[in-house]
């Protein structure tokens, strides 16, 4: 029975893996890293174990066995339950349908930017622009790789979304800098 508290992003990612097949937390960790899912969800080993533990408490997954290799710590394998499958799709539905304010820090930063001189702000934004440009190129090369590898497009639509958003931010910053530097925007 999924209790009051809503599925955490990492919890969702874990369930997503368990939909494919039962596995133990460390395998989840490896898969998430190997698939570069850590670009979408913050993945920390400690947090992952806690997350899976909570999923179990909530009845969304069940420990279905333990094995051990050599003298290493015992590994607990988890399996998703029907309630888990239900909670999984429900959460995805919610996240798609309802936008939520997640308080990104950049808007806050520009809202406080008036505390710095205009030319300093413009210069700092130059630094940001190069970093954003780099991210964009990284995404483009990633897309290229997935395309040539023949991975179905439905598995990487998020990359195109990220590209669009990056481009929008870059464009906005350029416009803002112009206004700052031309003096069109009094500072």
Partner DNA sequence: CAACGATTATTCCACGTGGAATAATCGGGT
Partner DNA sequence: ACCCGATTATTCCACGTGGAATAATCGTTG
**Residues in touch with its own copies (CB under 8 A):** 9, 12-13, 16, 19, 37, 39-42, 88-89, 92-93, 95-116, 120-121, 124-125, 127-128, 131-132, 135, 152-158, 160-162, 164-165, 167-169, 171-172, 176, 185-187
Least gap, CB of 169 to its own copies (angstroms): 7
Least gap, CB of 143 to its own copies (angstroms): 14
Note whether 102 binds DNA by CB under 7 A.
no
Least gap, CB of 66 to its own copies (angstroms): 28
State which of positions 43-62 bind DNA (CB under 7 A).
44-47, 49-51, 54
- State how far the Cα of 135 lies from the Cα of 89, in Å rounded to an integer: 30
- State how far the Cα of 8 lies from the Cα of 55, in Å rounded to an integer: 10
Strand extents, DSSP E, the chain: 61-67, 75-80
What is the distance in angstroms between the CA of the first residue and the CA of the last residue of the chain? 55
- State how far the Cα of 180 lies from the Cα of 174, in Å rounded to an integer: 10
Which residue, chain included where needed, has tokens 């416009």? 175
Note whether 85 binds DNA by CB under 7 A.
no
Q: Are the CB atoms for 55 and 48 separated by under 8 Å?
A: no
Binding site for DNA (CB under 7 A): 5, 8-10, 24-27, 29-30, 42, 44-47, 49-51, 54, 69-76
């Amino acid at each position: 029975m999924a209790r009051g508290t809503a599925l955490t992003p990492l919890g969702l990612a874990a369930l997503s893996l368990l939909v494919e097949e039962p596995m133990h937390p460390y395998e989840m960790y490896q898969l998430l890293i190997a698939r570069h899912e850590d670009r979408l969800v913050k993945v920390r080993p400690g947090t992952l174990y806690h997350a899976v533990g909570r999923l179990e408490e909530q009845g969304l997954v069940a420990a279905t066995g333990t094995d051990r290799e050599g003298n290493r710590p015992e590994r607990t394998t988890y399996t998703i339950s029907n309630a888990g499958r239900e909670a999984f799709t429900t959460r995805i539905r919610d996240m798609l349908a309802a936008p939520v304010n997640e308080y990104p820090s950049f808007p806050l930063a520009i809202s406080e930017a008036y505390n710095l001189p205009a030319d300093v702000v413009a210069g700092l934004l130059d630094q940001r622009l190069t970093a954003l440009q780099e991210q964009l190129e990284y995404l483009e090369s990633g897309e290229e790789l997935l395309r040539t590898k023949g991975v179905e497009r439905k598995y990487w639509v998020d990359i195109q979304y990220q590209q669009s958003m990056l481009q929008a931010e870059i464009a906005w910053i350029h416009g803002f800098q112009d206004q700052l530097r031309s003096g069109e925007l009094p500072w």
